[in-house]
Amino acid sequence: MKSFGTWAASRRNLLQGASMATLGAIFPIESVLAQGTPAAAPKSPKLLEMDGKAKLSVLGDKPLVAETQAELLDDDVTPTDKLFVRNNGQVPDVTGDPKAWKFKIDGEVDKPIEISLGELMTKYPAVTLKLMLECGGNGRSFFTPEARGNQWTNGGAGCPEWTGVRLADVLKDAGVKPSATYTGHYGADPTLAGETDKPSISRGMKIAKALDPHTLIAFKLNGKDIPLIHGGPVRLIVPGWAGSLSTKWLKRIWIRDKEHDGPGMGGFSYRTPKKPIVPGSKGDDKDMAILESMPVRSIVTFPADGTRLAAGARKLELRGHAWAGDNDIKTVEISTDYGVTWKAADVKPPANKFAWQRFTASVDLPSAGYYEVWAKATDTKGVTQPFTAANWNPQGYGANPINRIRVLVEA
């Protein structure tokens, strides 16, 4: 097995059952360079050093962007410290009583509202839901040639528990006019240049999504006040759609009579081609459609990619999560022979709409040697993950190839 070089110790370095030795012991990432494999991840990623956060993989410093390694996404409910970080501008300076924080709803409404967080919590019933939050560029690193932006693998996603009020309840009080078709969202984050008189990003959604009972104005994350880095004291949660809609440090929701045109809504931003374009080409922004529901995706969360199994191991117990934007997961299938044959995994129902779904499987490993374990999810609309990232676009949205981990059974 000389091609694997020297084995490195994993951060976890735990034993999980008699057949598994040094879980997470990783062989060199360059040992497999096939398109769509975890080889797209950085060889030695910079790790986040921040109080209250796990050692996530840092993808960018200005703004701060950090993704969660797949093996850290094994919890049914994503802990706050393991939730990915994605900023577009600077983190605002928030002082004083969080309950005094105010935001407004105006535009195509009968009664514009300006309300403090304290008033919001008192006036409207709170709901608690497990909801997916996923960066629109999740999976970008799997595109060939490389697309612009942070090179996410699959770690720009998580499913924490959010507590807040339904945006629909507040919009009902404001009285949404028949002319309302879209929203526009604004947060308090300064631009990267430090400007506070213009938004760092301002995206919006169709009114129907705003009125979905799972779209929240949230103020708690996993039962505690939302940390500043995650948008506290109050933010939007728009589950199943690109995370850029889930505005942090919420200051305004503008109800509009037309599609929103703020920063992040035009050109190639959060848009995918209506018809396939040549990979690496410039593309035409007139041929682009706004990214809404996120694509079907699965990730193996146990064991870690690069796990070494003890000699004699002939079974591998797998765990993972799958999700599909507005849709649920119908099936997850596992292959250990490069897609020649597939075995159905057991898939649990979601805890609630827009929560990810746990899958488990036990697969046979007929001999010692190197294996790739592939996971492929299909949603309730019949859409399946492709073998490689499809529908290339200049800013790299929608890449969701089948998930692959590498396992070596010692001789």
pLDDT at 326 over 70: yes
Q: Using only C-alpha atoms, what is the Rg of the chain?
A: 22
Q: Measure Cα distances from 251 to 235, 270, 310 in Å.
A: 9, 22, 55
- Is residue 175 very low, low, confident or very high in pLDDT (cuts 50, 70, 90)? very high
Mean pLDDT of 374-395: 98
Complete DSSP assignment for 23-45: TT-B--GGG---TTSGGGS-SSP
Tell me whether the CATH fold assigned to 2-76+294-409 matches the one assigned to 85-290.
no
* 3 CB-contact burial (10 Å; exposed 0-12 / middle 13-18 / buried 19+): exposed
Q: Does domain 2-76+294-409 have CATH number 2.60.40.10?
A: no
Burial class of residue 38 in the structure, from the number of CB atoms within 10 Å of its CB (0-12 exposed, 13-18 middle, 19+ buried) = buried
C-alpha distances (whole Å) from 224 to each of 75, 157, 213 are 18, 20, 22
DSSP secondary structure code for residue 230 in this structure = G
User: Would you mind telling me the total number of residues written for the chain in this entry?
Assistant: 411
Supply the pLDDT for residue 44: 75
Whether the predicted pLDDT of 2 surpasses 80: no
> What is the model's pLDDT at position 45?
86
Q: Report CA 112 to chain centroid distance, whole Å.
A: 33
* Contact call for residues 397 and 291 (beta carbons, < 8 A): yes
Over residues 272-294, the pLDDT tens digits come to: 999 999 999 999 999 999 999 99
Return mean pLDDT, the chain.
91
What values do phi and psi take at 8, rounded to 5? -110, 150
Decide if pLDDT at 307 tops 70: yes
pLDDT at 27: 47
DSSP conformation class of 327: B
85-290 placed in CATH 3.90.420.10:
yes
Q: Do residues 75 and 319 make contact, with C-beta atoms less than 8 angstroms apart?
A: no
Do 156 and 82 touch, CB atoms closer than 8 A?
A: no
Counting residues of the chain whose pLDDT is more than 70, the rounded percentage is 90
Q: Is the dihedral of CA 55, 59, 64, 65 positive or negative?
A: negative
Residues 6+ apart with CB under 8 A from 93: none
**Residue of 348, 80, 354 lying closest to 225 (CA atoms):** 80
**CA dihedral (85, 87, 90, 94) positive or negative:** negative
* pLDDT per residue as tens digits for the range 61-90: 999 999 999 999 999 999 999 999 999 999
Tokens of 264: 């992040």
Q: How far is CA 341 from CA 34, 298, 304, 373, 400, in A?
A: 19, 18, 22, 12, 20
**CA count, 13 A, side-chain hemisphere, 63:** 19
Share of the chain above pLDDT 90, in %: 89
43 against 114, higher pLDDT:
114
Strand partners, 297: 323
Question: CA separation (Å) from 176 to 107, 196, 203, 393?
Answer: 9, 29, 19, 35
DSSP β-bridge partners for residue 254: 106, 184
Mean pLDDT calculated for residue range 133-148: 98
Question: Can you give the pLDDT at residue 385?
Answer: 98
Cα separation of 398 and 390, whole Å?
A: 8
pLDDT digit string, tens, across residues 220-277: 999 999 999 999 999 999 999 999 999 999 999 999 999 999 999 999 999 999 999 9
208 CB-near residues (< 8 Å, 6+ apart) = none
Looking up tokens 């028949």, which residue turns up? 178
8 Å CB contact between 249 and 188: yes
Residues 94-99 have a mean pLDDT of 96
Beta-sheet strand order (sheet of 57-60): 46-47, 57-60, 65-67, 85-86
29-53 pLDDT, tens digit each = 344 433 344 444 446 789 999 999 9
- Per-domain boundaries in the chain: 2-76+294-409, 85-290
pLDDT in tens, 154-169: 999 999 999 999 999 9
pLDDT at 43: 63
Q: Evaluate if residue 20 carries a pLDDT over 90.
A: no
pLDDT of residue 299: 98
State how far the Cα of 269 lies from the Cα of 281, in Å rounded to an integer. 16
Confidence of residue 7 (pLDDT cuts 50, 70, 90): very low
